[in-house]
Amino acid sequence: MKKELSKHTLAYLILCAGFAMFLALFLGAWPDHDLQRVIIAALVVFYFAWGVVTHVKTTTFTKRVALEYGVVAILGGIFLLILTI
């Protein structure tokens, strides 16, 4: 894991920055649930796109990788949407 982190430091910094920005925007949008849902949709798209771009750059992109990132993004988005009900 350490080798992976050191090899792709920039990619993981971008991911962490995206999550931090999402958290700040999500909490800052409270109690506007509609705006929170838009922010959740943006996070889902960001996470999926990050995974695709990262794997394309490292030439490890496959349909299975795309499916994995898509499923995780959608499940995470559904979980967060449940929080806004």
Q: What is the mean pLDDT of each run of 10 residues along the chain (85 residues)?
A: 82 97 97 97 98 96 98 98 93
Residue 7 has a pLDDT of 84
Residue 5 has a pLDDT of 75
What the block records as the tokens of 32 is 């506007």
Instruction: Find where tokens 């949407």 sit.
Output: 81
Residues 6 or more apart in contact with residue 19 via CB below 8 angstroms:
43
Burial 37-75 (b: 16+ CB within 10 A, else e): eebbebbbebbbebbeebbeeeeebeeeeeeebeeebee
The per-type count for the chain, helices as H runs and strands as E runs, is 4, 0
